[in-house]
Amino acid sequence: MTEIIEFGSFQLRFLRDRHGTAGSLDMFELVLQPEGRMPVPHYHEAWEETVYGLAGTVSYTVKGEAHDVGPGESLFIPRGKVHGFSNRSGAVASCLCILTPGVLGPEYFRELAALLRSGNPDPARAREIMLRYGLVPVPQG
């Protein structure tokens, strides 16, 4: 069953998760509004991420290098590499994200989205949620 998780400037549409794939993968569509972005660059040590462009252009920064991912293009993000994303294109953009193996699931995104909707998005609480699910936030310099 498809699940949609809203984050304001972006939304995730979960297509497959660790629960239904015996931990093989998590797969979701990321839809990013113009000027939307991942608020905190981060890395993860327990999975790789592959991004496939569907519409528009999503700009990723991986290890300090910029990568624009457009329709039909892909990007591989190895474990342990700091990354983030944004949409500077001026139009809605989307990409398919595949996490392998599937160890994250939608629970992390549900919990973080609930914190952001609470009206009190405490950065310390967001950091705690990220760390508990295996994402390591990296402060921006």
pLDDT in tens, 39-94: 789 999 999 999 999 999 999 999 999 999 999 999 999 999 999 999 999 999 99
Where are any strands of DSSP class E within the chain?
Answer: 3-6, 10-16, 26-32, 42-44, 48-55, 58-62, 65-69, 74-77, 83-86, 93-100, 135-137
Amino acid occupying residue 118: S
> What is residue 52's predicted lDDT score, i.e. its pLDDT?
98
pLDDT of residue 103: 93
Confidence of residue 120 (pLDDT cuts 50, 70, 90): confident
% residues pLDDT > 70 (the chain): 98
pLDDT category of residue 121 using cuts at 50, 70 and 90: confident
- What amino acid is encoded at 58 in this protein? V
93, 59 contact by CB (below 8 A) = no
Q: What pLDDT, on a 0 to 100 scale, did the predictor assign at position 95?
A: 97
pLDDT band per the 50, 70, 90 thresholds, residue 141 = low
Averaged pLDDT of the chain: 93
- Checking if the pLDDT of 127 tops 80, the result is yes
pTM score? 0.92
- The CATH code of domain 3-105 reads 2.60.120.10
